[in-house]
């Protein structure tokens, strides 16, 4: 499906972009986030949570793998980095087919559990504050959202 690309020049800009995405997400939506350490995956997630109406501060869940927040719907923030080289299933199906929105940092480590319909987001480091954010829409629903966000 279509791919969209957008350049960010600050952490705030990334969060604002992610917030606009969060405002458009619906029940059962899954977004995957890829990018090196420090690329901005958690920064992006903070903005996305804001767009979903989450009031609590969103932090890196590295030591818990899955953190749950409440906005206008449940919001599950996963960082599956620690599942590298493991086939462990933490009940992903229930999250991905549930009534909330899921965001998965380092999603390729749980590739086998990911739903087909998802928005794949890649953040690439370009300089101190510059990042290129690529959106890969794997459904019509996400394609529509991408068109609105990055025309």
Ligand X SMILES: Nc1ncnc2c1ncn2[C@@H]1O[C@H](COP(=O)(O)OP(=O)(O)O)[C@@H](O)[C@H]1O
Closest Cα to residue 103, out of 71, 132, 125?
71
**Which residues in the 4-23 window bind ligand X by CB under 6 A?**
8, 10-11, 13-14
List the x/- string, 37-66, binding to ligand X by CB under 6 A.
xxxxxxx----------------x------
**Which residues in the 115-134 window bind ligand X by CB under 6 A?**
129, 131
Task: Report residue 49: phi and psi, to 5°.
Answer: -60, -40
| Position among 21, 30, 32, 35 found at the interface with ligand X (CB under 6 A) | 35
Find the largest Cα–Cα distance for the chain.
Answer: 39
Q: Three-state SS for 26?
A: coil
Q: CA of 151: how far to CAs of 3, 14, 48, 61, 148, in Å?
A: 11, 16, 19, 32, 6
| Position among 42, 43, 76, 133 found at the interface with Mg ion (CB under 5 A) | 42
| Position among 11, 20, 28, 60 found at the interface with Mg ion (CB under 5 A) | 60
Interface positions with ligand X (CB under 6 A) = 8, 10-11, 13-14, 35, 37-43, 60, 105, 129, 131
């Amino acid at each position: 499906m279509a791919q969209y690309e957008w350049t960010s020049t600050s952490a705030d800009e990334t969060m604002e972009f992610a917030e606009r995405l969060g405002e458009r997400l619906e029940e059962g939506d899954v977004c995957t986030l890829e990018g090196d350490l420090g690329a901005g995956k958690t920064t992006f997630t903070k903005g996305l949570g804001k767009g979903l109406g989450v009031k609590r501060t969103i932090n890196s869940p590295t030591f818990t793998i899955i953190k749950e927040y409440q906005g206008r719907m449940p919001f599950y923030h996963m960082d599956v980095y620690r599942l590298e080289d493991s086939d462990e299933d933490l009940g992903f199906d229930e999250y991905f087919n549930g009534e909330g929105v899921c965001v998965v940092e380092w999603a390729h480590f749980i590739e086998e559990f990911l739903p087909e319909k998802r928005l794949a987001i890649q953040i690439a480091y370009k300089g101190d504050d510059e990042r290129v954010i690529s959106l890969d829409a794997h459904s019509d629903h996400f394609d529509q959202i991408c068109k609105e966000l990055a025309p």
